[in-house]
């Protein structure tokens, strides 16, 4: 049976534009992975009358209503009151929820005011969705042919509450198990990826294939539904293999979060270390490598050389290269990588130099002219990039860092650098 979902978010802060409705995005992603159709998002403020009207509309056009927000004491538990009323239910005191709230305050050593216990008032006969990430419990009930699920608003609570509480409940509505894998690609544009897959995507129903564009890279999510997880995995496997074969070395990982995470994983496996020398990326590569917890096992350090003096002084780039070719040149990129490798004492060093804009450099290099280089125990390599002047500065820098990490990944997995393909 096919369900229609409406996500109803309650919160004046959304209508004032203080925050974006990322809860609706998180839920929508999760729901489409479950094969449930989200047809509407609605946002109303902390206003009982307008919330009542929005619920009346949702009740008519959806058979699953998921609410976010409006559960805490500051909004008088508006969502619970309105939904209970709309479905003719009373709110009753739930002692286990009260106990959780008391112990939450005890644990975080904050004083608990009485209105906090109001959060333990829940629609009679509901399934309580215990909140391990905050105070307001969620709940779920079915009435008049509609499933209602209420989740807290703060994204740090909404996300795990959906994942660990609402999702299992929703899975019971659909038969079987949903499983998915995400392939990450670098070196191909979203439209080129889609063009190569379009016929296949349209022809598939289980598993399904969904492309996503990320900043400068692409994702493909393969999702299957089956009576058991083993059967779902069996359905996924051939498609994952097929996509990997189709895109070859452009696929840099399955169920991984980023190129830098993959690079650090490979370094850890091989017991090797990395360092960076950055001009145009200005610290971004080091920042991304150290975003990953545990980076200190493989990352030794970096040098951000924003002037020729620092390139010559700290990275030992020969002055004659700077004079003859300019800082934005393959020769200097290579010398920076070699210099960083020596200065930092790391096994692999990555280097970037280029023009991130807004203007051409003194050597008349266009914005978007970039060189990324790698120095390894087996030699060096430089990849020239022409990223164009249309992307904004931040995008140019991100893209350049992606390319440098791609060189490291290719070196560490024994793949050819394939500069022309990207």
Closer residue to a second copy (CB): 93 or 164: 164
Closer residue to a second copy (CB): 172 or 296: 296
- To a second copy, the closest distance from the beta carbon of 230 in angstroms equals 27
* C-alpha radius of gyration, the chain, whole number: 27
- To a second copy, the closest distance from the beta carbon of 411 in angstroms equals 21
Closer residue to a second copy (CB): 22 or 113: 22
- To a second copy, the closest distance from the beta carbon of 171 in angstroms equals 17
Sheet with 369-376, side-by-side order of all strands? 274-278, 348-354, 369-376, 379-386
- To a second copy, the closest distance from the beta carbon of 338 in angstroms equals 16
Contact status, residue 243 vs residue 209, Cβ threshold 8 Å: yes
Token pair in block for residue 150: 């209420």
Closer residue to a second copy (CB): 253 or 357: 357
Contact status, residue 37 vs residue 4, Cβ threshold 8 Å: yes
Closer residue to a second copy (CB): 34 or 126: 34
Count of alpha carbons within 13 Å of 166, Cβ hemisphere only? 30
Contact status, residue 163 vs residue 81, Cβ threshold 8 Å: no
Q: How far is CA 163 from the centre of its chain?
A: 15
Token pair in block for residue 141: 């009930």
- To a second copy, the closest distance from the beta carbon of 214 in angstroms equals 10
Beta-bridge partners for 209: 222
Closer residue to a second copy (CB): 246 or 310: 310
Contact status, residue 209 vs residue 388, Cβ threshold 8 Å: no
Closer residue to a second copy (CB): 248 or 294: 294
DSSP secondary structure string for all residues of 46-68: S-HHHHHHHHHHHHHH-SEEEEE
Q: What is the largest CA-CA distance in the chain?
A: 82
Rounded CA gap, 27 and 43, in Å?
14
Rounded CA gap, 386 and 207, in Å?
37
Contact status, residue 369 vs residue 326, Cβ threshold 8 Å: no
Token pair in block for residue 181: 């894998």
Closer residue to a second copy (CB): 94 or 260: 260
Give burial (CB, 10 Å; 0-12/13-18/19+) of 67.
buried
- To a second copy, the closest distance from the beta carbon of 18 in angstroms equals 6
- To a second copy, the closest distance from the beta carbon of 303 in angstroms equals 6
- To a second copy, the closest distance from the beta carbon of 115 in angstroms equals 17
- To a second copy, the closest distance from the beta carbon of 21 in angstroms equals 5
Rounded CA gap, 6 and 62, in Å?
6
Rounded CA gap, 104 and 133, in Å?
9
Closer residue to a second copy (CB): 228 or 307: 307
């Amino acid at each position: 049976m096919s369900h229609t979902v409406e996500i109803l978010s309650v919160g004046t802060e959304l209508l004032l534009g203080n925050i974006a409705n990322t809860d609706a995005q998180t839920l929508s992603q999760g729901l489409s992975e479950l094969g449930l159709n989200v047809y509407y998002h609605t946002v109303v403020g902390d206003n009982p009358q307008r919330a009542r009207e929005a619920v009346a509309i949702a009740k008519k056009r959806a058979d699953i209503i998921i609410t976010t927000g409006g559960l805490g004491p500051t909004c008088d538990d508006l969502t619970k009151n309105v939904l209970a009323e709309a479905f003719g239910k009373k709110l009753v005191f739930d002692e286990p929820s009260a106990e959780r709230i008391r112990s939450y305050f005890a644990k975080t050593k904050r004083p608990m005011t009485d209105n906090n216990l109001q959060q333990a008032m829940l629609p009679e006969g509901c399934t309580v969705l215990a909140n391990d990430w905050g105070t307001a419990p969620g709940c779920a009930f079915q009435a008049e042919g509609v499933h209602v699920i209420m989740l807290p608003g703060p994204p740090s609570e909404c996300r795990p509450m959906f994942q660990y509480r609402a999702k299992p409940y929703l899975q019971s509505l659909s038969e079987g198990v949903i499983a998915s894998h995400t392939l990450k690609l670098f070196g191909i544009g979203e439209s080129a990826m889609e063009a190569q897959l379009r016929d296949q995507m349209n022809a598939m129903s289980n598993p399904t294939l969904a492309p996503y564009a990320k900043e400068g890279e692409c994702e493909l999510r393969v999702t299957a539904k089956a009576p058991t997880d083993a059967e779902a995995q069996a359905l996924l496997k051939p498609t994952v293999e097929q996509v990997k074969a189709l895109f070859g070395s452009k696929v840099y990982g399955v169920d991984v979060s980023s190129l830098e995470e993959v690079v650090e994983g490979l370094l850890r496996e091989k017991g090797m270390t990395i360092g960076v020398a950055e001009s145009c990326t200005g610290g971004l590569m080091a920042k991304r490598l150290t975003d990953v917890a545990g980076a200190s096992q493989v990352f030794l350090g970096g040098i951000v050389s924003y002037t020729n003096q620092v390139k010559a002084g700290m990275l030992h780039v020969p002055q004659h290269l700077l004079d003859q070719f300019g800082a934005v040149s393959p020769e200097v990129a290579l010398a920076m990588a070699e210099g960083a490798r020596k200065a930092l004492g790391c096994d692999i060093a990555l280097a970037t130099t280029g023009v991130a804009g807004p203007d051409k450099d003194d050597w008349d290099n266009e914005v978007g002219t970039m060189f990324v280089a790698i120095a390894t125990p087996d030699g060096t390599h430089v990849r020239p990039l022409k990223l164009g002047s249309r992307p904004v500065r931040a995008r140019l820098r991100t893209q350049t860092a992606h390319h440098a990490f791609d060189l490291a990944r290719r070196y560490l997995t024994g793949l050819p650098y394939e500069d022309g393909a990207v």
